[in-house]
Amino acid sequence: MKSVTFKNRNWEVAGIRQFPKDFDESKKYPAIACAHPISSCKDQTAGNVYGKALSEAGFITLAFDASHQGASGGEPRFLEDPATRVEGFRCAADYLTTLPYVDEEKIGVLGVCGGVGYGVSAAMTERRFKAVATVVAANYGRLMREGDFSPNAAVHTLEAIAKQRTAASQFSE
């Protein structure tokens, strides 16, 4: 494991790069940029759980703190800025392509929980990402727009679906 930094606009983004077992700098490896959940950091699930497991499976992994969060720069602190989070993935791809042992044609993105939406959004336009993986996908933008963070949010949604199906079934013979 190695602590690294790369640029997003004019501040440093803090990351953790992990290597496959028996890493050989003369070989090329697939790489994965790993996004942490909302209110988390690179040192938790994105790095020490999924990043570690993926590196053990043969990938170079780069878990990084979103700008304005964790050990990364950016003011104000603790800002959840969707455009900047998506740009962070592009900057991660920039960084990964500078490493001589990363196969530029095999870079993927992994989003965990709230980081999923940002990773997927980046992959829609960042053609260097060839694969997308998600864990416990959460659409943070939708949550913010609809504002249902209650413990019973899923139950409310299921009840609304049931009512909609009941209404729709009244019109079929």
d(CA 81, CA 166): 39
pLDDT in tens, 105-134: 999 999 999 899 899 999 999 999 999 999
pTM (2 decimals)? 0.82
pLDDT in tens, 61-106: 999 999 999 999 999 999 988 899 999 999 999 999 999 999 999 9
Is the Cβ–Cβ distance between 67 and 13 less than 8 Å? Answer: yes
> What domains can be seen in the chain, in order of their start residue?
2-138 (3.40.50.1820)
d(CA 110, CA 51): 9
Whole-number pLDDT of residue 32: 98
- CB count within 10 Å of CB 131 equals 12
Edge-to-edge order in the sheet of strand 60-64: 2-8, 11-18, 60-64, 29-35, 102-112, 129-135
pLDDT at 143 over 90: no
Whole-number pLDDT of residue 171: 78
